[in-house]
Amino acid sequence: MPAAGFEVRADTFAPAVGEPALVPVTPTASEFPLSEITTDPEPDPAFYALSLDEAIGNGRRTVIVFSVRLSAKQRPAVRCWTL
């Protein structure tokens, strides 16, 4: 039988039901050119001002959108808005 192209673990990095979700540090416009962190042809820099961990931890209401463009060749987009 051929070997799998990935490691199968006995445990998981995913949180259990009822545990808080993992909060990754995402790149921001102050750290990287927008072309390196989004596939949007006309990105609004304001959407990339905060990292995901900053938006979730700043005490303000936050809307987070995970979306995929129509082309499967493009990477998913993550956007944060602090209200």
pLDDT tens-digit readout, 52-81: 899 888 899 888 777 666 655 555 555 555
* Model confidence band, residue 21 (pLDDT cutoffs 50, 70, 90): confident
Query: Do β-strands 77-82 and 62-67 pair in parallel, antiparallel, or remain unpaired?
Result: antiparallel
Q: Is pLDDT of 18 > 60?
A: yes
CA distances from 29 to 6, 22, 45, 72 (A): 32, 22, 7, 24
Q: What is the pLDDT of residue 42?
A: 86
55, 78 contact by CB (below 8 A)? no
Higher pLDDT, 1 or 7: 7
pLDDT, mean of residues 3-25: 81
Q: What is the pLDDT of residue 67?
A: 67
